[in-house]
A and B are shown apart, each in its own frame.
Chain A
Amino acid sequence: MSAVVPTPPASHYLNPPWGLKSWLLTTDHKRIAWLYVISLSGFFFLGGIAALLIRLELLSPPTDFLTEDFYNKMFSLHGIVMVWFFLIPSIPATMGNFLVPLMVGARDMAFPRLNLLSWYIYTIGGLLLIASVVLGGVDTGWTFYTPFSSQYSNSFVVPAAMGVFVVGFSTILTGLNIVTTTHEMRAPGLTWFRLPMFVWGNYSVSLLMVLATPVLTAVLLLIALERMLDLGIFNPALGGDPILFQHLFWFYSHPAVYMMILPAMGVVSEIIACFTRRPLFAYKSMALSILAIVLFGFLAWGHHMFVSGQSIHAGAVFSLFTFMVAVPSAIKVFNWVMSLKEGYIQFTAPMLYALSFLGLFTIGGLTGVVTATIGLDVHVHDTYFVIAHFHYIMVGASVTAYLGGLHFWWPKMTGRMYPERWAIVAAVALFIGFNLTFFPQFLLGIAGMPRRYASYPEEFQFLNVMSSLGAGVLAIGYLLPLVYLPWSLVRGKRAPSNPWRATGLEWQTTSPPPVHNFKVTPVVTGPAYDYR
């Protein structure tokens, strides 16, 4: 980094006006991204508090700290908040919103007003969810399985389901915006195979969002109607079919898990290319494997239902498709590893996050393959093994990538550098705490501890205590950035336009960027990652 203290650009998007109105009525994608960062962080900590309560209860075998009902409401809240109010919008709505127009060389998203509307819809959905919590909470788990959710639960299922229903529209609008922007607003010379991986990741995730979310919308609508009007669509006593719900739900939710990982893959690709100072290994197959994941992602949903009573043949077919969807992910891991070769690797905080991602995603993915092996899934289904599998991917990989990306683009987004040393401490605490928390859960699952258990037989206590202690370390890893990132807004060093000497159009404009991003529309003449 240069020794010269850079002066901030004369005019940029963070310049006044600074009033509440200028933020709440903005159509600037960069400011909207900030609105999301703030609301998403709020929900992340809400979900985190629920997680902490879960882990406290599980310190001892009987249900002593919370009641059963409260525990059940906590994991439901935790799952619902983390999935729909944090992780799915996390990268696309914040960094995606901020960076996709910059990276394709556009002045804004294709539909700036829809973009703002999307945030308002998110907020309304969030308020509905909070209303359901204030009223007394929801205890169905994030999966809303029928007929429990539609007939038997005594909790506030309808407001919660409506919160998720509403937030779905926000997701759809964000996706619509990103797809259209990527298709129609690329700068001259920026062909598809010159796009940064981050754009590929957000583009493909947006495809999933617009195609899969409506199915969730429909199914939540049916649940709410079923509950209020007693329709019977999922009620076997009236000839309905409770398994139908599971099919519809997972038809959405399996693609949804890829919504949570694809943008993270994009972030990591950018970071790795930048800090190895090398082009990504096999760029084209990176892009194509993302598309393959999108495609196969729609065919694998039945792997959540191996023991649900679907036919043996269906089980086998879904197992096959699940194996197929793992192949493109394996290609990507191979590529990231090979990208390190012959590089000039700098271990900055974002790079540490990216390397953590690589390791944790591989563990999470491999255990996904274990559950895809249908004969093994019968044993581990609905045990802590599955909990560990998806936390490895969603927390270990996606949230880590989210934090990595936030650090990587922090200078661009704020015009300030974050404190490198603290960031490295946080990244390391995260990695250690994470493994302490979730590795014991694999063992618990193999030993047979079912999930969603407020109390458990005594022999599982040791591993549960380990997991709870690990969660404490993990919490430090998350709380540190909460302190030093805001601090850096005031005290951080001023950032130059391109502190990492990275390629990519976003680095060619000032930090922070001007209101319309570029003084002149950039023209692209070479491939992405032209490092040498």
Chain B
Amino acid sequence: MTTASESRPQPAEQFDDLKQQFHADHMGMWIFLSTELMLFGAVFMGFAINRYLHPDAFAAAAGHLDLTMSSINTAVLFSSGFTMALAEQAVGEQRRRLGLGLLGTTIVLGLVFLAIKGYVYYQEMLEGLMPLPWLQFTYDGPSPDQAELFFNFYYILTGMHAFHMLVGVGAICIVLMLGWRRNNPASWVRQVKIVGMYWAFVDIVWVFVFTATFLLRA
């Protein structure tokens, strides 16, 4: 990283000006998000088909999940989305301190989400709902085989989401550091926006994951 010694910030060398760079980064992020959409879309498709094949077993299995904790978690995630949006605005208005604070809050909320998620996983493991080969799968509802299928999808979907959360938290940490060091204020605005898009996407995906696995229950 070169420090911007000039007063006017320079775009990366392949771009004509900062505006072009901003557009390009923006577009790149949108394209990236569309690939993410297709990734989750494929798994959702698999889930949907299996739910269609075994509606009762899936609904019953969903009933075994802890709705309360996950609703709390949903609220946590939404707040983090809100603080991220505020952070973007603050940074856009050159209010650096506020922006840094809001980014920090977002990170903390993201981590809280992951912690609760981990706790929920742990509870489920104790209940014997985690269908891993080395764990005993115990399930007292109807058609346990299909229920196991449900739990497989549940862990894949929430696991993929949690992985994206981790990446998102990491990305916010990086922009936080960049803002802290004041390397390049003009690019910082852009970087925060880009990361914000990603975070918003992760929030939205959760809505679908939550609906599909928790709310469609018996």
Contact = CB atoms under 8 A, between A and B. Distances in A.
Interface string A148-178: 0000000000000000000000001001100
A238 interface: yes
Contacts of A110: 14-15, 24, 28
A212 interface: yes
A112 interface: yes
A219 B42 contact: yes
B149 A238 contact: yes
B39 A210 contact: no
B97 interface: no
Interface string B17-52: 000100110011001101111111111011001100
Contacts of B15: 110, 185
Contact of A239 (B20, B27, B53, B131): B53
Interface in A85-126: 101, 106-112
A240 B54 CA distance: 10
A387 to B, nearest CB: 28
A229 B133 CA distance: 6
A111 B13 CA distance: 11
Nearest to B16: A521
Query: Which secondary structure dominates chain A's binding surface?
Result: helix
B42 A218 contact: yes
Contacts of A219: 42
Contact of A218 (B31, B43, B148): B43
B35 A231 contact: no
Nearest to B39: A214
Interface string A174-194: 011001110111000000000
B152 interface: yes
Contacts of A210: 31-32, 34-35
Nearest to A101: B14
Contacts of A213: 35, 38
Given A214-B42, A241-B49, A241-B50, A232 B13 contact: no
Contacts of A238: 145-146, 148-149
A92 B153 CA distance: 35
A207 B153 CA distance: 29
B146 A239 contact: yes
A217 B14 CA distance: 31
A180 B34 CA distance: 13
Contacts of A239: 50, 53-54, 57, 143, 145-146, 149
B75 interface: no
Given A184-B24, A210-B35, A241-B53, A225 B156 contact: yes
Contacts of B131: 229, 231
Nearest to A114: B28
B53 A218 contact: no
Contact of B39 (A185, A218, A233): A218
B20 A184 contact: yes
Nearest to A29: B14
Nearest to A245: B46
B132 interface: yes
A176 B49 contact: no
Contact of A180 (B28, B40, B153): B28
A324 interface: no
Contacts of B133: 229-230
A370 interface: no
Most buried by A among B20, B34, B38, B156: B38
B89 to A, nearest CB: 25
Nearest to A219: B42
Interface in B53-92: 53-54, 57
A338 to B, nearest CB: 35
A210 B27 CA distance: 13
A217 B16 CA distance: 35
Nearest to A243: B49
Contacts of A233: 46, 50, 149, 152-153
A222 B44 CA distance: 12
A526 to B, nearest CB: 22
Contact of B14 (A112, A179, A214): A112
A421 B143 CA distance: 72
Contacts of B40: 218
A202 B37 CA distance: 22
Contacts of B24: 110-111, 180-181, 183-185
Contact of B38 (A108, A211, A232, A244): A211
A176 to B, nearest CB: 5
A208 to B, nearest CB: 11
A35 interface: no
A165 B14 CA distance: 30
Contacts of A211: 34-35, 38
Interface in B99-158: 131-133, 143, 145-146, 148-149, 152-153, 156
B46 A244 contact: yes
Instruction: Give the residue among B32, B36, B153 with the most A Cβ atoms within 10 A.
Output: B32
Contacts of B53: 239, 241
A248 interface: yes
Nearest to B28: A180
Contacts of B23: 184
A184 B42 contact: no
Contacts of A179: 27, 31
A107 B136 CA distance: 59
Interface in B133-190: 133, 143, 145-146, 148-149, 152-153, 156
B165 to A, nearest CB: 17
A240 B149 contact: yes
Nearest to A251: B42
A240 B152 CA distance: 11
A222 B47 CA distance: 12
A106 B20 CA distance: 12
13 contacts: A109-B14, A112-B12, A184-B20, A214-B37, A214-B38, A215-B41, A229-B131, A230-B133, A232-B152, A238-B145, A240-B50, A516-B13, A521-B16
Given A219-B42, A233-B50, 15 more contacts: A101-B14, A110-B15, A179-B27, A211-B35, A215-B38, A215-B39, A218-B42, A231-B131, A231-B149, A232-B145, A233-B46, A239-B53, A240-B50, A241-B49, A521-B16
CB-based closest 8 A-B pairs: A108-B14, A218-B42, A214-B39, A214-B38, A215-B42, A184-B24, A231-B152, A110-B24
Interface of B: 12-16, 20, 23-24, 27-28, 31-32, 34-43, 45-46, 49-50, 53-54, 57, 131-133, 143, 145-146, 148-149, 152-153, 156
